[in-house]
Structure 1
Amino acid sequence: MQASSSNSKAWLKPALAAVVIAAAGVAAYAALNQQSSAPAVTFMSIKGEKITPESLHGKVVMVNFWATSCATCVAEMPKMVETYNKYKSQGLEFVAVAMRDDPPNYVVNFAETRQLPFKVALDTAGDAAKAYGNVAMTPTTFVIDRNGKILKRYVGEPEFPALHKLLEKALQG
């Protein structure tokens, strides 16, 4: 009788383990899919214009942290310009945020010589990068919906067809 009693409880440990694993999976899924709000950051453009959270409210926004010394950033910039030009009439706003160590005169020169059509901001104190989760890698791009929720964070150059699908969905909402 003793053996059958211990065998009848043999299922308990694997069942408990399965419940714990399932609960952890549900928690991880919820955490990964929970949209966090974009930080309430006021950017200062290279033209001296304040770009406030209020001025971006109700728009789909791309915030792109970049640097003139970043080869990937420079290479992706024409595609960012194409993306902005494709969707700006539907309500897309774009803020290219130059990183703290990027000399302002380099940023202004880059923006002017390439005729960047969107807002270009300086993060001279590093406050914006810090607010966006301590951005250190460039390029890092955030897509933010009309309600101020971060839909996606790209580290490195985005896959542009997938980015365009995401923007189209966000702009429809």
Structure 2
Amino acid sequence: MQDTTLTSPVSPAKTSSPGWIKPVLAAVVIAAIGFGGYVSLAKRPVAPNVGFVTIQGEKITPDSLRGKVVMVNFWATSCTTCVAEMPQMVDTYNKFKPQGMEFVAVAMSYDPPNYVVNYAETRHLPFKVALDTDGSAAKAYGDVAMTPTTFVIGKDGKILKRYLGKPDFDELHKLLATSLKS
């Protein structure tokens, strides 16, 4: 049988590229990544102009949240992941509240108000707990259906991150620390 392997008559020394190509290529890649990051940050959606009513009847207006880093957590008392993550949400709130973070836990429209009130009171939730009785807040935030869904909103009113399910709390804490410093 005949050997059909292709070989190149050019020696390896002659096929290597000039020394300037790798640094230029690296610079182009870095610039492209930087530009992509800029474009993604520039295109961050603005948080909906939605207010909330807490279980105590307090109205939270969009104006009262402007200029602050805000977490909006859609949850339900019937959601096992929501209930399991709530102690970490409390810890997150307690850690970042002194630096100016606001937190609104928004109970889904299907969650009975008396269950929400009971849960919030018996667990001594330190942040604002709101009822979304007509589902308008969930709809405004992109038809939230899965719980938990958490939004981190920057001081500029733009959504920094949306977490579906339980967040990676180390990542969340880094995001909050950075956002609160800016």
**What pairs with 1:4-153 in structure 2 (closer than 5 Å)?**
30=39, 34-153=43-162
1:62 aligns to what SS in structure 2?
strand
- What amino acid does structure 1 have at the position aligned with 2:125? L
The structure 1 residue matched to 2:170, chosen from 142, 161, 166, is 161
Calculate the TM-score normalised by the size of structure 1.
Answer: 0.82
Task: Kindly report the root-mean-square deviation, in angstroms, between the aligned alpha carbons of the 2 structures.
Answer: 1.6
Structure 2: which 5+ residue stretches go unaligned?
1-34
Paired-residue identity, %? 71
Q: Give, as a single letter, the amino acid of the residue that structure 1 aligns with 2:159.
A: I
What is the identity, as a one-letter code, of the residue corresponding to 1:111?
A
Larger Cα-atom Rg: 2
Structure 2: distance between partners of 1:114 and 1:128: 24
Can you list the C-alpha shifts for 1:55-86, whole angstroms capped at 9, x where unaligned?
A: 11111000000000000000000000000000
Tell me the residue number matched to 1:9. Answer: none
**Residues 167 and 31 (structure 1), Cα distance of their counterparts in 2 relative to 1, 3 Å cut:** closer
Q: How many residues align structurally? A: 147
How far 1:34 moved relative to its partner?
1.8
Name the TM-score, length of structure 2 as normaliser.
0.78
How far apart are the structure 2 equivalents of 1:137 and 1:32? Answer: 25
Counterpart of 2:141 in structure 1: which amino acid?
A: Y
